[in-house]
Amino acid sequence: MKFQNLATVVALIPYVLGFPHLANFPEYRSLAGLSPQEIRAVTRQFNSMPGAQPLPPPINDTSSKLINDADHPFMPLQPGDIRGPCPGLNTLASHGYINRTGVTTPGDIITAVQEGFNMGYQFASFLCYSAFVTDGNQLTNLMTIGANTTTDGQLATGINTHGNFEGDASLTRDDAYLGNNFNFNKTLFDVFDVAAKEVGNGVITFEAAALNRALRINDSIARNPEFAFETPRFLGGIAETGFFLAMFVNNQTVDNTMPLRIEDARSFFDFHRFPDGFYRRQGPFEFPLVKNVTYTLIDMIGRQPGNNNGVNNYVVNPEDPATFCYFYQKQVNATASLYPNPTPELGAAIKANLVTYYNTLEDPTCEQYFPYGQ
Ligand code: HEM
Ligand SMILES: *[C@@H]1O[C@H](CO)[C@@H](O)[C@H](O)[C@H]1NC(C)=O
Ligand SMILES: *[C@@H]1O[C@H](CO)[C@@H](O)[C@H](O)[C@H]1NC(C)=O
Ligand SMILES: *[C@@H]1O[C@H](CO)[C@@H](O)[C@H](O)[C@H]1NC(C)=O
Ligand SMILES: *[C@@H]1O[C@H](CO)[C@@H](O)[C@H](O)[C@H]1NC(C)=O
Ligand SMILES: *[C@@H]1O[C@H](CO)[C@@H](O)[C@H](O)[C@H]1NC(C)=O
Ligand SMILES: *[C@@H]1O[C@H](CO)[C@@H](O)[C@H](O)[C@H]1NC(C)=O
Ligand SMILES: *[C@@H]1O[C@H](CO)[C@@H](O)[C@H](O)[C@H]1NC(C)=O
Ligand SMILES: *[C@@H]1O[C@H](CO)[C@@H](O)[C@H](O)[C@H]1NC(C)=O
């Protein structure tokens, strides 16, 4: 009883200290932009703060196997469950490969994307940390696969936070400038149909996917005056077309040549559900393959990284090399500007996570960045 009273008093301290707007701060929300005083106030409310964690071990069996199985049934959303802009992570959550609430850890995401989709260990770690360092909570080691949510009066964004990792010209989500950047939009999804009919005999072949990618970019150029498409978004946006070809096709072959059916695409993008009898791809979708598919698509589409300066005025940035090393470096700089003044504990966690992030590149030619010192 006494303890409980003490806990109540402690929970009220942020109020007492003058940060009523931070009461009930969700443990999964990023600490970006908070002052050291605010960080100390909110962390008093957290249950556990493990800080930076090592990567989980890789899965060892990367053969194709049944994923939509009896142990992982689709379940509809419960009140409060969070889904977001990523159809891959949404589907894993709706089948219980990651916590069905949508609140999870980087380690659980890395294991789940390997298990459920055969995304390669190294690339999965790179991708997950790209989002975690900007959008996750590095003291609680939690992140959400996230939309905008309001818990106890606290607005929180997750991996949908615009401009951190989420960006423009998504395939089935609107640009943030134009509307909602995390919910499925059927009008945009129908562009798959257009492309499939035009060059794919009604299914999404590699050519149809490239056409769909180009059409979605052209739509943003035509309608979003603030269209932003430099690396990392440039590479991310194009890689995502590779993702659905490589990982949403039942029992996809190593060379990604089997096409995706429109109804299976809808199952993932809209319903967050594995098609019946879904087998994950044959062999991991790992860095060399990811790069091959991404740069092949870039060649087919014929677009370079850049930004709109008003609608229909796309300006290429010739300084942007569109490499994964540059992706990492830009993301580290973005992280440093999101957390200019961390507490010592938060600074230590960010520093350790940035080292983990660099190591996922496995590219000794890439200059490592140390915005918080070596
Ligand atoms: C490793 C962890 C992952 C993270 C952190 C992540 C994060 C994200 C984010 C933030 C977006 C939104 C980007 C945007 O459109 O602005 C996104 C989109 C997307 N992701 Fe993931 N993702 C992950 C794994 C996967 C996996 C395993 C797949 C496929 C099996 C996948 C497929 C996609 C696709 C197809 C899109 C594009 C959605 C659209 O444009 O409508 N992702 N992801
Ligand atoms: C994969 O094998 C290695 C080496 O035997 C082991 O350390 C690791 O824990 C295994 N991974 C999993 C997920 O079991
Ligand atoms: C999912 O997260 C909720 C809330 O944090 C927790 O209560 C639950 O035990 C978790 N589920 C699993 C399967 O770990
Ligand atoms: C999500 O929240 C952000 C503020 O954190 C806000 O700028 C944005 O408009 C919101 N988006 C939607 C679709 O509600
Ligand atoms: C879907 O996207 C279209 C095109 O951007 C937009 O006009 C429409 O309002 C969006 N629909 C919803 C429900 O947000
Ligand atoms: C996209 O726009 C460019 C420039 O207007 C045009 O050359 C290209 O054909 C368009 N792509 C598609 C697939 O319509
Ligand atoms: C997956 O495809 C391979 C050939 O690419 C085939 O041998 C195997 O039987 C297929 N598995 C299933 C479950 O369809
Ligand atoms: C991608 O892989 C294909 C074979 O699957 C190969 O022909 C091609 O040269 C590779 N392209 C790049 C850019 O590595
Ligand atoms: C990252 O920031 C540093 C320091 O401001 C700057 O020198 C460097 O050019 C930036 N790197 C990139 C890739 O923008």
User: Mind listing the pLDDT tens digit for each residue in 53-74?
Assistant: 999 999 999 999 999 999 999 9
353 pLDDT higher than 60: yes
Distance 158 CA to ligand 3 centre (A): 18
Instruction: Please tell me the predicted confidence (pLDDT) of residue 155.
Output: 86
Confidence of residue 17 (pLDDT cuts 50, 70, 90): low
Return the best residue to mutate from 292, 300, 323 for the ligand 8 pocket (most ligand atoms within 8 A of CB).
292
> Which pair of structure tokens corresponds to residue 183?
């919910």
Quote the pLDDT of residue 16: 37
Percent of the chain, pLDDT > 90?
91
The pLDDT of residue 103: 97
Q: Which ligand is nearest to the CA of 283?
A: 7
- Asked if residue 101 has its Cβ within 6 Å of ligand 3, the reply is yes
Residue nearest to atom 1 of ligand 7 (CA): 251
Whether residue 14 has pLDDT greater than 80: no
Q: To the nearest whole number, what is the mean pLDDT of the chain?
A: 95
Q: Is the pLDDT confidence value at 178 over 70?
A: yes
Confidence of residue 11 (pLDDT cuts 50, 70, 90): low
Expressed in angstroms and rounded, the spacing between residue 248 Cα and the centre of ligand 8 is: 21
Ligand 1 atom at minimum distance from 244 CA: 35
Q: Is 0.85 surpassed by the pTM of this model?
A: yes
Instruction: Please report the pLDDT score of residue 43 as a whole number.
Output: 94
Reduced to 3 states (helix: H, G, I; strand: E, B; else coil), residue 296 is helix
Pocket of ligand 2 (CB under 6 A): 57, 59-60
| pLDDT band for position 20 (cuts 50, 70, 90) | confident
Does the CB atom of residue 231 touch ligand 3 within 6 A?
A: no
pLDDT at 272: 98
| Gap from CA of 166 to ligand 8 centroid (Å) | 28
Of 299 and 18, more confident: 299
Least confident of 79-88, 144-153, 309-318: 144-153
Nearest to 162 by CA among 195, 129, 184, 131: 131
pLDDT at position 29, please? 96
Q: Is 212 in the pocket of ligand 4 (CB under 6 A)?
A: no
Q: What percent of the chain has pLDDT over 70?
A: 95
| Ligand 4 mutation pick, 34, 134, 157, max ligand atoms within 8 A of CB | 157
Cβ 279 under 6 angstroms from ligand 7: yes
Q: Which ligand is nearest to the CA of 252?
A: 7
| Ligand 6 atom nearest to CA at 217 | 1
Task: Tell me the pLDDT tens digit for each residue of 89-116.
Answer: 999 999 999 999 999 999 999 999 999 9
Average the pLDDT over 144-150 and give the result.
93
Nearest ligand 3 atom to the CA of 96 is 13
Residue range 38-44: mean pLDDT, rounded:
94
- Asked if 261 and 99 count as a contact pair (C-beta separation under 8 A), the reply is no
Least confident of 152-166, 183-197, 319-333, 345-359: 152-166
- pLDDT at residue 1 tops 50: no
pLDDT value of position 334 = 98
Which residue has a Cα nearest atom 13 of ligand 8?
292
- Amino acid 245: pLDDT: 98
CA 3 to centroid of ligand 1, rounded, Å = 43
The beta strands (E) that lie in the chain are given as 103-104, 143-144, 149-151, 154-156, 228-229, 306-308, 314-316
pLDDT bracket for residue 8 (50, 70, 90) = low
Number of neighbours of residue 276 by Cβ within 10 angstroms: 9
Binding site membership of 214 for ligand 6 (Cβ less than 6 Å) = yes
Question: Which listed ligand is nearest to 59 at the C-alpha?
Answer: 2
CA-nearest residue for atom 12, ligand 7, is 251
- The full DSSP string for 140-152 is TTBEE----EEET
pLDDT digits (tens, 9 = 90+) for 230-273: 999 999 999 999 999 999 999 999 999 999 999 999 999 999 99
- Structural contact between residues 224 and 218, judged by C-beta atoms closer than 8 angstroms: no
Query: Mean per-residue pLDDT for 136-159?
Result: 92
Distance of CA 253 to the CA centre of its chain: 24
Distance CA 352, CA 227 (A): 33
21 pLDDT more than 90: no
Q: Whose CA is nearest to atom 3 of ligand 1?
A: 128
